[in-house]
C-alpha cells in the first residue's frame, strides 16, 4: 500500500503489479475486438463455436489454472485450531471446510445468495426451539432434530418442518453427519454431545455455559483441538446490538482505560425451581462473567463471592461476586432469582463500564419501547424471540459464517468459553467457602 507501481506494470485483480500485456485482438474494448467493430460495415462472419472457457475469456486454461493453483498453494491457511482465530491474512475469507464422507449434503441458499449448510439442532427444549426458529429466520435449513423425548422432538419437528428426528446423537451420526450443529441440551450433557459431534468432524455451537464443570469444558476444548473442528461457545450477549455498541465504544477508547465493570441480572423465583441442581453462577452469571472479561479485555485472576438461599431451600437464589482481572480491572456481578414468578426476563438487566475518561451502560430495565399487555414486551429485550431474529439470529449467522469461511474471526473464542466456566466454578466455590478468595489458574488445561 502506498507504493507506486513501476512504469510498464499494471495491477492485476489481486492488486499485485504485473507485466503489462499487449492487447490481444478479438477481445472487448480493444482495436479489432467486438466493441471496436460495433457500427462498422464489415461482412458478417459466422461465429465459430468456441469451448465455454474460451468464450468466457479464459484463453489459456491450462497455464492460468496451474498459476492459480500455485497461488492458492502459497496462500494455504493453517489447519483449524478449534477456535479458528481467523485467516492468516485478515480480510481474506477462509475456505469452507472440506465435506466429509457421509455428510448431509442438502443445504439452502441464504439471503446473500450464498450456499448455506444444513444444520442439526440437538436438544429440542425451550432454547433448542429458539435455535430452530432463528435458523429458519436466516434461511438456514434445519434438517435434523435430536431429543430423547419422542413427544418433544415430534412436536418441534412438526411445528418447524424439520424432516428427520433422532433420539440420540449416535443415531444422527449413523444416518450421516450434518454440516453443523447447535448443542442445546442441559449443561451437564454438553460434554458428551459436543465431544461426539466434534469427533465426527461436525462444527458445533455449544450453548452457554460451554460445560457444567471445568473438566467437561476442558474435554470439549481438547476435542475441538484434536479434531481441528470449530466449536463456538454460545455467549449470546456478544451478539446483542446494545452490548456490542458498548463494546465498540470501549474498544475505540472512548471511556479511556477501563477501571471497572458492574453487572446486574434479576430473574423470577421460577428458575431455582426449574433448575434446582444448577448453580446460578453457571446458569445465569456466566452471561455477566463473559461480559466482564469482554469489556475488561483481560482474563480474571481472582474471585470472591457470596451466595444466599431462601428459608427452607438449599438452592442459592442470590450470588454476589467480585472479580479481579489480570489488568487490575475490578468487576462486580450480582444475580438473583427473587422476582415474582411471571416477571419477564431482562426487566432489570444492567451492565456498566467505568473508564478513566467516562462511564457507559446498557440498561435493559428502561427499554425504548415497553408494551405491557397480555405479555410484557420490549424490542430491546429481543435476544431470542420465538419467531427467530434478535441476538440469537445474529449469533447463528456468525456461526454459519465461521462454518462456511465468510467470517474471518471468532466473536467468542473457544478459550473464553472455557475461562467463563473456570470463573463461574470459582464463584460457586468461593461462595460455598464463605467468600474465601479463589485464584484462577492461567492454564486450566495443564
Ligand atoms: N443463551 C441463552 O440466553 C440461553 C437461554 C436459555 C437456555 N440456554 C442454554 O440452552 C441449553 C438448553 O436449555 P433449555 O432451557 O432449552 O433446557 P430444556 O430443559 O428446556 O431443554 C433441554 C432439552 O434437551 C433434551 N436432552 C437432554 N439430554 C439430551 C441429549 N443427550 N441429547 C439430546 N437431547 C437431550 C431434553 O430432553 C430437553 O428437551 C442449556 O445449556 C442452557 O443453559 C441458553
User: Which amino acid residue places its CA nearest to atom 31 of ligand 1?
Assistant: 189
Q: Strand locations in 255-403, DSSP E?
A: 258-268, 300-309, 316-325, 330-339, 350-355, 358-363, 371-372, 376-377
Burial (Cβ within 10 Å: 0-12, 13-18, ≥19) of residue 343: middle
pLDDT by residue for the chain (446 residues), tens digit each?
A: 333 223 333 333 233 333 333 333 333 332 222 222 222 223 333 333 333 223 333 333 344 444 444 433 333 322 333 343 333 333 333 333 444 433 443 455 444 455 678 999 999 999 999 999 999 999 999 999 999 999 999 999 999 999 999 999 999 999 999 999 999 999 999 999 999 999 999 999 999 999 999 999 999 999 999 999 999 999 999 999 999 999 999 999 999 999 999 999 999 999 988 888 899 999 999 999 999 999 999 999 999 999 999 998 889 999 999 999 999 999 999 999 999 998 888 888 999 999 999 999 999 888 778 888 888 777 667 787 777 778 999 999 999 999 999 999 999 999 999 999 999 999 999 999 999 999 998 887 76
| Measured distance CA(353)–CA(292) in Å, rounded | 9
Q: Work out whether strand 350-355 and strand 258-268 pair parallel, antiparallel, or are unpaired.
A: antiparallel
Find out whether the beta carbon of 193 lies less than 6 Å from any atom of ligand 1.
yes
Find out whether the beta carbon of 195 lies less than 6 Å from any atom of ligand 1.
no
Domain limits, CATH 3.30.360.10, in the chain: 241-382+413-439
| Measured distance CA(223)–CA(411) in Å, rounded | 20
CATH for 107-237, options being 3.40.50.720, 1.10.472.10, 3.30.70.1450, 3.40.630.10: 3.40.50.720
- Minimum-distance ligand 1 atom for the alpha carbon of 168: 32
Q: What's the 434 CA to ligand 1 centre distance in angstroms? A: 31
CATH for 241-382+413-439, options being 3.20.20.140, 3.40.50.300, 3.30.360.10, 3.40.640.10: 3.30.360.10
Probe residue for ligand 1, chosen from 122, 124, 126, 127 as the CB with the greatest number of ligand atoms within 8 Å: 127
C-alpha cell at 304: 470472591
Find out whether the beta carbon of 184 lies less than 6 Å from any atom of ligand 1.
yes
Find out whether the beta carbon of 288 lies less than 6 Å from any atom of ligand 1.
no
Domain limits, CATH 3.40.50.720, in the chain: 107-237
- Minimum-distance ligand 1 atom for the alpha carbon of 122: 33
| Single pTM value for the model | 0.78
Q: What's the 33 CA to ligand 1 centre distance in angstroms? A: 64
Helices (H), 89-166: 126-138, 150-160
- Minimum-distance ligand 1 atom for the alpha carbon of 206: 41
Q: Which residues lie closer than 8 Å to 166 by C-beta, 6 or more apart?
A: 144, 145, 146, 153, 172, 175
Residue showing cell 434445519: 142
Probe residue for ligand 1, chosen from 121, 173, 185 as the CB with the greatest number of ligand atoms within 8 Å: 185
Amino acid at each position: 500500500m502506498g507504493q507506486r507501481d513501476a512504469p510498464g506494470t499494471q495491477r492485476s485483480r489481486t492488486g499485485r503489479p504485473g507485466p503489462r500485456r499487449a492487447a490481444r485482438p478479438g477481445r472487448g474494448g480493444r482495436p479489432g475486438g467486438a466493441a471496436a467493430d460495433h457500427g462498422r460495415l464489415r461482412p458478417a462472419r459466422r461465429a465459430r463455436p468456441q469451448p465455454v472457457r474460451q468464450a468466457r475469456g479464459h484463453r489459456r486454461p491450462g497455464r492460468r489454472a496451474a498459476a492459480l493453483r500455485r497461488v492458492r498453494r502459497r496462500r494455504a491457511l493453517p489447519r483449524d485450531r478449534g477456535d479458528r482465530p481467523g485467516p492468516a491474512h485478515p480480510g481474506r475469507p477462509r475456505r469452507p471446510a472440506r465435506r466429509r464422507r457421509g455428510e448431509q449434503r442438502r443445504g439452502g441458499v441464504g439471503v446473500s445468495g450464498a450456499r448455506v449448510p444444513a444444520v442439526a439442532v440437538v436438544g429440542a427444549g425451550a432454547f433448542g426451539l429458539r435455535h430452530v426458529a432463528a435458523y429458519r429466520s436466516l434461511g438456514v435449513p434445519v434438517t435434523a432434530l435430536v431429543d430423547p423425548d419422542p413427544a418433544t422432538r415430534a412436536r418441534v419437528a412438526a411445528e418447524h418442518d424439520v424432516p428427520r428426528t433422532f433420539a440420540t446423537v449416535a443415531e444422527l451420526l449413523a444416518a450421516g453427519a450434518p454440516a453443523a450443529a447447535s448443542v442445546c441440551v442441559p449443561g451437564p450433557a454438553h460434554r458428551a454431545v459436543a465431544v461426539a459431534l466434534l469427533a465426527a468432524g461436525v462444527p458445533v455451537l455449544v450453548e452457554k455455559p460451554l460445560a457444567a464443570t471445568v473438566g467437561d469444558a476442558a474435554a470439549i476444548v481438547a476435542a475441538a483441538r484434536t479434531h481441528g473442528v470449530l466449536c463456538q461457545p454460545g455467549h449470546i450477549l456478544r451478539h446483542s446490538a446494545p452490548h456490542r455498541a458498548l463494546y465498540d465504544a470501549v474498544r475505540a477508547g472512548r471511556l479511556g482505560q477501563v477501571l471497572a465493570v458492574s453487572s446486574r441480572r434479576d430473574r423470577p423465583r421460577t428458575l431455582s425451581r426449574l433448575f434446582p441442581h444448577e448453580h446460578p453462577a453457571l446458569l445465569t452469571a456466566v452471561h455477566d462473567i463473559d461480559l466482564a472479561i469482554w469489556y475488561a479485555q483481560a482474563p480474571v485472576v481472582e474471585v470472591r463471592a457470596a451466595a444466599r438461599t431462601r428459608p427452607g431451600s438449599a438452592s442459592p437464589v442470590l450470588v454476589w461476586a467480585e472479580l479481579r482481572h489480570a489488568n487490575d480491572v475490578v468487576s462486580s456481578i450480582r444475580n438473583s432469582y427473587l422476582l415474582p414468578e411471571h416477571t419477564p426476563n431482562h426487566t432489570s438487566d444492567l451492565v456498566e463500564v467505568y473508564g478513566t475518561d467516562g462511564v457507559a451502560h446498557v440498561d435493559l430495565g428502561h427499554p425504548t419501547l415497553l408494551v405491557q399487555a397480555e405479555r410484557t414486551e420490549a424490542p430491546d429485550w429481543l435476544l431470542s424471540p420465538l419467531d427467530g431474529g434478535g441476538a440469537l439470529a445474529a449469533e447463528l449467522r456468525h456461526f454459519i459464517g465461521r462454518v462456511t469461511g465468510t467470517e474471518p474471526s471468532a466473536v467468542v473464542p473457544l478459550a473464553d468459553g472455557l475461562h467463563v466456566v473456570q470463573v463461574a466454578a470459582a464463584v460457586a466455590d468461593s461462595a460455598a467457602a464463605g467468600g474465601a478468595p479463589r485464584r484462577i489458574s492461567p492454564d486450566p488445561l495443564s
